[in-house]
A and B are shown apart, each in its own frame.
Chain A
Amino acid sequence: MNVHEYQGKELLARYGVAVPTGKVAGSVQEAREVAAALGSEVLVVKAQIHAGGRGAGAVVDTVEEAGRLFADHLEKEGLPAHDLSGGVLLVRSADEAADAAEGMLGKLLVTRQTGAAGRRVSRVLVEEGCDIARELYMSLLLDRATGRPVMMASTEGGMEIEKVAEETPERILRQEIDPAVGLLDGQARKVAFWLGIPAEGIAEAVVFMKSLYAAWLEMDATMVEINPLVQTGAGTLLALDAKMSFDDNALFRQPDIAGLRDDAEEDPKEIWAGKYDLSYIALDGNIGCMVNGAGLAMATMDIIQAAGGRPANFCDVGGGATAERVAEAFKIILSDENVEAVFINIFGGIMKCDVLAQGVVDAARDVEITVPLVVRLEGTNVDQGKAIIAESGLNIIGAEDMADGAAKAVQAAQQRA
């Protein structure tokens, strides 16, 4: 689960990580008030969306315009010279802050990372400008190979770390953290000296890093990325930006963080699926699919593509799905208007084929099915499952195996079109 920059900064500040003074605003008037209260000579107004590249993006009015900018420029290179507003603006008064907020709120911000649809801006963060001596980079994440946390620091602030890793890997310092003792003072000092923090700033930098690690660990974050991390004129570290992701598996014990979820940033179908404990991800293809098990679900998407179609979704109904959950999954898949055929691919293990079949039949009574339906059943109680479908009188195309099912679904979609 991701949160907005302003939320991430609030959380980090609780752990003692230095962040710029500022406040989120949901209206032009609020933005003006926040800016006036800050009383700073230089202020920054930042659009709050769950995607990076905001400064180099563009604020537009329509989805069409966002799509055009994305396809023509952002997807490949940066934008050419333009007179559109970006998602991050420097201003010098409360009036200017209000104008900047007005230019962003309610509009779409399209960046390299938003995709062609852009994201609707509902809030802006108004912050004090700061005295930037150098831009650095710092992040904490999990090294899956060792099962340990890793701190990454770089002298190349403001750049994508993947690019730095590829082009100038010597400018990244990596510190593996022993979870039994946490980030050592000595490790933090090593990072601080390596980054070139002046001697008088080292002690404070150590506190910054240890706070960052405590925040990562105690809030069950999967990633904290501070990019840029700023060394101020006074030699101290400041988190100018903050990107945080949290472990969905840990949300049950992090109610405060679970409450920060912004449904507007997610596909409504995915939120719907979440309510029924279904794993669903919307894609942009034409063949809907429903599968039990994540690996088989991914493989099913792949085989649909290999058969000449494009998957409309990822959908794992799980191992212990009930007929009711299967029925709900079916409704979610059919609610996608791009779907021209549905392929149900089930390998019954714990999940029995007859339960699945009953769920499909039940759902078909509730929803009008206007697209061809291909079903492949294999595994536990396969014969009972096939019988339920045969007796239902539904117009279902049977498939022998995965490849056959994918081919039949793609063919059925083409015939319909």
Chain B
Amino acid sequence: MVPRKRYRQPSSERDGESRMSILLDSNSRVVTQGLGATGRFHLNGCREYGTSMVAGVRPGKGGQTAEDTPVFDTVAEAVDKEGANVSVIYVPPPGAADAIMEAADAGIPLVVCITEGIPVTDMIRVQRFLEGRDTRLIGPNCPGIITPGQAKVGIMPGYIHEPGRVGVISRSGTLTYEAVHQLTQLGVGQSTCIGIGGDPIIGTGFIDALDLFNRDPDTDAVMMIGEIGGNAEELAAAWVQENMTKPVAAFIAGKTAPPGKRMGHAGAIISGGQGTAADKEAALKAAGMPVAPSPAELGVTLVAAMQRAA
């Protein structure tokens, strides 16, 4: 029996150094919220990758099993009975915000929300609810997080990744796969890859993730993939200039995107002249970060940045 709310700040984090594999590693025990076709498909996918997929939650179906996994009525039970310490959420948009808050309420330290299409006002409530709690949210509207060779929580194709020492942070899904693929082709492995999500309100932003990589002894450099909309990249550029001790290469998608149109992601919109790719690239370059001129040059830009820093 594992006690509830076991999460403590890891001692290394208290000392200012924190392993990214603390977010996710071979000790992670994952509960899946949302056991529809998508949730079940990826439960198997993550398990095949080697992740401990210990429980599922489906209210009213407690006591059953799904994909050879025990199903509980509540997240709290999954924590109590199976020691779940990571939750991955596939619950459809109307119930997804509540699912995030249920996981946080159950004391889950890492919640990864894959769901796309959560209303903004729901996420405003979630963000407020998470203030002051020991829960880190990744997403929503993201592919998840993977520590290659150890564990994957999410929908990314595991086989394109290689264990290594480069961190990847991205607002996109498939564009992240593109970046990872290019790195792997160049023989550059990854420490951890985080899809932070394409929505206007997300739990873990660029700065949070950069800070983790900066303090991670297993990461030497970071690839950061942004896109139009909002000013998260500009804020991250300023933060990197002030704080980052490792090279960071960047890319911004959406140079050709017209203003006022939502480019697929809810957060990818240029409004009132704000959030353009040109502004973001200028801010990144001003902070001394190399910016890949084309999405075909993500890997080589990162490698060049590492060579310069060496």
Contact = CB atoms under 8 A, between A and B. Distances in A.
A299 B181 contact: no
B201 to A, nearest CB: 4
Nearest to B264: A294
B119 A220 contact: yes
B307 interface: no
Contact of A179 (B119, B128, B268): B128
B231 interface: yes
A162 B276 CA distance: 14
Interface in A207-242: 217, 220, 222
B287 to A, nearest CB: 17
Contacts of B171: 295
Given A296-B178, A302-B255, A302-B256, A349 B232 contact: no
Nearest to A178: B128
A295 B225 contact: yes
B72 to A, nearest CB: 26
B189 interface: no
Given A142-B201, A145-B232, A402-B178, A297 B263 contact: yes
B227 A179 contact: no
Nearest to B172: A295
Given A142-B124, A281-B263, A247 B201 contact: no
A349 B157 contact: yes
Contacts, number: 178
Contact of B157 (A220, A304, A348, A403): A348
A147 B294 contact: no
Interface in B1-46: 38, 41
A293 B173 contact: yes
A178 B124 CA distance: 10
Given A302-B253, A320-B38, A349-B174, A142 B120 contact: yes
B155 interface: yes
Interface in B212-269: 225, 227-228, 230-232, 235, 251, 253-258, 261-268
Given A283-B258, A295-B172, A320-B38, A253 B119 contact: yes
A187 interface: no
Contact of A299 (B175, B230, B272): B175
A217 B264 CA distance: 23
A180 interface: yes
B100 to A, nearest CB: 13
A401 interface: yes
Interface residues of B, number: 63
B227 A147 contact: no
B296 A296 contact: no
B59 interface: no
B123 interface: yes
Contacts of A296: 172-175, 178, 253, 295
A291 B172 CA distance: 13
A387 interface: no
A314 interface: yes
Given A299-B295, A302-B295, A347 B232 contact: no
A203 interface: no
Interface string B262-301: 1111111000111001000000000000000111100000
B163 interface: no
Interface of A: 142, 144-145, 147-149, 161-162, 178-180, 217, 220, 222, 247-250, 252-253, 279, 281, 283, 291-306, 310-311, 314, 316, 319-320, 347-350, 378-380, 401-403
Given A249-B93, A249-B118, A349-B157, 8 more contacts: A217-B121, A294-B263, A295-B225, A298-B227, A306-B294, A316-B264, A350-B157, A378-B181
Q: Which 6 A-B pairs have the closest CB atoms?
A: A295-B172, A294-B264, A293-B174, A295-B175, A403-B296, A250-B119
